[in-house]
Structure 1
Amino acid sequence: MKRLSWSAAATLAYAAVMLVLERGMRKTGGPGIIPFELAGNAEGAQEIMTDWGSEGRRWARWSLWLDFGYMLTYGTLALLLIERARSRHGHPIALRLLPIGAVAGDAIEGVALLKALDGVDVDTNARLARSAALTKFALLAVGLVYTVIGGVRRRS
């Protein structure tokens, strides 16, 4: 339980930092990072980068670089929560792959978006980032639902 508490605290603290970066992008008149993650093509990504201007792109770059640390905190928290539910119910160890896959998707997404910000094959990198982001969100959602159901079933 102690590891879970520390992991939750670290994730929340890191999320607070990420929110500062998110506000920085939005104050330029552009969107936050998630619409950039989901742009999916050169036109959408370029439109967002234009809306951001150089200041917003700087905030986005910081957000993407710091996200590599954030993914470790939320990935650890998700892994601990899933493991807690999994071990209580004797479910397969393969469920641990959900947060691991989500973090891997987030890392692929981050690299692709950093390349897009640098103007490197923006269309391909925007498409790759979108696919990786959708995979990340789906795996995290499945893990969250599993954890919630596991917690509810224990209380019943």
Structure 2
Amino acid sequence: MDTANGSAALPKSLKASLLLAAVLLIALLLVNQPLQTGSAPQGIVSFQMAGTADQSHAILRSWRADGVVWAKVSLWLDFLFIPVYVLALLHLTRHLMRDRPGIRERVVARWIRAMFLAAGLSDGAENILLLNNFNPPTDMVSLSATICALVKFTGLTLGGAGLVIIRAARRHPFVHG
């Protein structure tokens, strides 16, 4: 179905998953606000990237009791966000590949989906590690959570870049089927 400007309409499943992902992302951003301190300028992301028990402990001290509660709320809310954003990205990949019949594009799309799935799995593992790193933080758990966070961010970045490349390689307007 074409919209008034001639672009393809988004499927309802894609719209719904993108909307729910946006709502949960906004909630996570709001929960992250009280977690931004001198030791954790990026809030929960600073805790994800701490890498050592000393850094994690400094962040936890800067949060005090209220901040630790918000950090746990953020991690539990993120467990809801993970399947939603992964599903939204998989729907988006499928939508952007609808008119891409080429074998190379299909292979790249499989890699993109794999990157998004790896990001989601790493995010879940990272949350489990972080929930186990509150009292007391350890070097092993801190480093493991950081590695999982790096895998997550890398998967999301590479998957997103793959989508941009596939769509930028187009030689004709988006066609819907």
RMSD of Structure 2 on Structure 1 (CA): 2.0
In the alignment, does 2:20 pair up with 1:4?
A: no
Which stretches of structure 1, 4 residues or more, deviate above 6 A after TM superposition?
none
Percent identity over the alignment is 28
In the alignment, does 2:31 pair up with 1:21?
A: yes
Partner SS, residue 51 of structure 2: coil
In the alignment, does 2:154 pair up with 1:112?
A: no
Partners of 2:21 and 2:170 lie apart in 1 by 25
Ranges in structure 2 where 5+ consecutive residues have no aligned partner: 1-10, 173-177
Ranges in structure 1 where 5+ consecutive residues have no aligned partner: none
In the alignment, does 2:83 pair up with 1:72?
A: yes
Partner SS, residue 132 of structure 2: helix
Partner SS, residue 39 of structure 1: coil
TM-score by length of 1: 0.90
Which amino acid in structure 1 is aligned with residue 114 of structure 2?
Answer: L
Cα separation, partners in 2 of 1:39 and 1:144, compared to 1, 3 Å: same
In the alignment, does 2:110 pair up with 1:99?
A: no
Cα separation, partners in 2 of 1:114 and 1:155, compared to 1, 3 Å: farther
Contact 2:37–2:62 (8 Å) recurs in 1: no
Deviations 1:55-100 (A, max 9, x none): 1111001000110001111111111222334452442234321111
Q: Say which one has the larger Rg.
A: 2
Which amino acid in structure 1 is aligned with residue 113 of structure 2?
Answer: R
Aligned residues: 155
Q: Which has the larger share of helix?
A: 1
Partners of 2:95 and 2:167 lie apart in 1 by 9
Cα separation, partners in 2 of 1:27 and 1:129, compared to 1, 3 Å: closer
